[in-house]
Structure 1
Amino acid sequence: MTGVNPVTLRAWERRYGLIRPQRTPKGHRLYTERDIDRINQILVLLDRGIPISQARQVLDEGDGDAAATTAETTDPGEDTWSALLTRMRTGVTVYDEQALSECYEEACSLFAPSQVQHHLLAPLYRQFPPGGSADDQAARAFLHSWLRTVLSARMHHRCRRAAGPRVLLATTDSGADDIPLLLLGLQLIDHGFRTALLGCAVDTDALATAARQTGAESVLLWTGGDTGGTAGLNRLAGDVPVFVAGNTAPLQGHAERFTLVDGEDTGAAVRALDTHYNQRQSA
């Protein structure tokens, strides 16, 4: 109902005293509507960057704006993230899904989702690049399967809160990796965009159809360098603003109507969309 896993809820209850669910005679937890409202309030605070350790005080005092300002300058430190990342990497190399999930849930119970994604999930993904030995490839496949499940579930629960411009997210690359799309989609949702994820190897004609049918206000393509040429992109950009991010080097000098995003990190793509819509609103 809230998208928060049971392990995290128990941590919020036992460690931080944030919720106090009732118990059945057999010891099962019962969450009332008031508990669910409280959980949703906590999720809002986490989305704003307020650490879980400050959430109870903020809820009691009702001063979320001040706490958010403080949280922006509060960093748990590289040692904390490094320790969590090491644990998760070890979980990947020994194919231990339970260890991976427990570490992830621990991080989510302590930090905002956007922090967990930026400091933990994205770096973990980058530590297992394509190629390498058979062991490396197997570990990468295992990690991708786990990430796909976790990120898809998080996107499903978080997309209901977004109310901004609708963005279609896809890649035209054949055989592309969909994990960057999921990471990028969550970042867009964190910035208020309503995101429709079309996936990999989507041709420009299909994107044009989807844009018309969904009323999308822009299309964001993530590319590894194989876009299938620029003619289709330029045609698509005649219908809706198109942004292309990732490895855009092969497209340099050929973007007649679409926008190339500088930088190969997902954050650059999100900033480009933020700038586009901020300028449009102020025009």
Structure 2
Amino acid sequence: MSTGAVARRLGVSPTTLRSWERRYAIGPALREDGRHRRWTPADIARLEEMCRLTARGVPPSEAARAALGAAPAPLPATPGARVTPGGPGTLPLGEVRPEARGLARAAVRLDAQAVADLLEAALAEFGLVTTWEEVITPTLHAVGRKWASAGERYVEVEHLLSWHVSAALHRIRPAPRRPDVAPVLLACVPGELHSLPIEALAAALGERGLPVRMFGAALPAEALRDAVRRTGPRAAVLWSQSRTTADGALARSVAGIEWGLRGARGHSALLLAGPGWDPRTRAPRTERLFGLRSGLEVISALVSPPADPTAPPPVPGPAPGTGAGPPEPAACGS
């Protein structure tokens, strides 16, 4: 395997591998044309032992001596093979991409540089949506499961990983804004501090050139209502992670807000996102979002300008089962 593939598999940065080779003589047995490193299963097994020991707090120099003298058993050469360098500290990932497994190992080791490098490499290779769905989300869920089953342990892993995911999302440069599109308002409901999913949505909408008004975690109820009135968004997305923060009465009040000039009032489509919302929550002009990829398509369909530039944009109808009347015409916001 190449150095890059080994780094993704183990959850370390290529720079770390080169540093270990230079300092502790843990390097690949093969080189193609004398230049390109090629790591054998036995080489990778030694690195696994090095990772396992350093994750337990052993100094790298001592871990390297132990790994070199341990004569480890060879690993299967297939990239998707399951490896558990952290022993009992390994996160419960299941069947995931090798990049997710590497990210989890780096997070457990609290290797901040490796976490940042792996996130950057995954975003560059797969794009935001695939990286979020197939690399970041499985790792975050695994950390959450580990934290829930281990008391207060692994909270530091969740915090470090979340911080670096947020930083990586904020570094994504938006496309030029489309001036003919009304904004999308994004906010967590009052009391909700888990904002990473709508940070990912904000970054993905920005990539499409769609204007976003991002208010982040735990926006107070009255501030949320004021923000809707003042910005006149085409859609408002409310995120709730748990049933304790989801507020059906708040959703209904936001869905009923009118904005714009008198005589030309408009409404925002309300999109409820996150596992906290009760499926029975009903309000006019309200829909549910069930994932980043599908949510992007729903929002893009709502905010895209109509074919006739003189016609007002369509207002989505009520969610199934709401019993609401016909949709009202929209108007420009203030």
User: How high is the TM-score relative to the length of structure 2?
Assistant: 0.52
1:119 equivalenced with 2:130 (yes/no): no
- Find the counterpart in structure 2 of residue 200 from structure 1: 217
Aligned counterparts, 1:1-283, within 5 A: 79=80, 82-129=97-144, 131-133=148-150, 134-154=152-172, 157-158=173-174, 161-163=176-178, 164-224=181-241, 225-227=243-245, 229-238=247-256, 239=258, 240-247=268-275, 249-250=277-278, 252=280, 254-261=281-288, 263=290, 265-277=291-303
The CA distance in 2 between the partners of 1:138 and 1:268, in whole Å, is: 31
How far off its partner does 1:137 sit?
2.0
Letter in 2 for 1:165: A
Residue 217 to residue 204, structure 1, CA distance change in 2 (3 Å) = farther
| 1:138 aligned counterpart, secondary structure | helix
| 1:199 aligned counterpart, secondary structure | coil
How far off its partner does 1:262 sit?
5.5
Is the CA contact (8 Å cut-off) linking 1:261 and 1:268 kept in structure 2? no
The sequence identity of aligned pairs, in percent, is: 17
- Find the counterpart in structure 2 of residue 56 from structure 1: none
| 1:174 aligned counterpart, secondary structure | coil
| 1:115 aligned counterpart, secondary structure | helix
The CA distance in 1 between the partners of 2:251 and 2:155, in whole Å, is: 33
How far off its partner does 1:246 sit?
1.5
How far off its partner does 1:198 sit?
0.4
The CA distance in 2 between the partners of 1:228 and 1:107, in whole Å, is: 32
Alpha-carbon displacement from aligned partner over 1:200-246 (angstroms, at most 9, x marks no partner): 22233212221233342221111123456333322222222211122
Is the CA contact (8 Å cut-off) linking 1:244 and 1:258 kept in structure 2? no
Residue 213 to residue 79, structure 1, CA distance change in 2 (3 Å) = farther
Q: Which has the larger radius of gyration?
A: 2
Is the CA contact (8 Å cut-off) linking 1:222 and 1:244 kept in structure 2? yes
Residue 108 to residue 220, structure 1, CA distance change in 2 (3 Å) = closer
The CA distance in 2 between the partners of 1:266 and 1:226, in whole Å, is: 23
Is the CA contact (8 Å cut-off) linking 2:99 and 2:118 kept in structure 1? yes
- Find the counterpart in structure 2 of residue 35 from structure 1: none
Letter in 1 for 2:185: L
Give the root-mean-square deviation of aligned CA atoms. 3.0
The CA distance in 2 between the partners of 1:244 and 1:221, in whole Å, is: 5
Residue 83 to residue 201, structure 1, CA distance change in 2 (3 Å) = same
Structure 1: stretches of 5+ with no match in the other structure: 1-77
Q: Which has the higher helix share?
A: 1
The CA distance in 1 between the partners of 2:166 and 2:272, in whole Å, is: 22
How far off its partner does 1:258 sit?
4.3
Letter in 2 for 1:115: T
Is the CA contact (8 Å cut-off) linking 1:204 and 1:233 kept in structure 2? no
Letter in 2 for 1:120: V
How far off its partner does 1:279 sit?
9.5
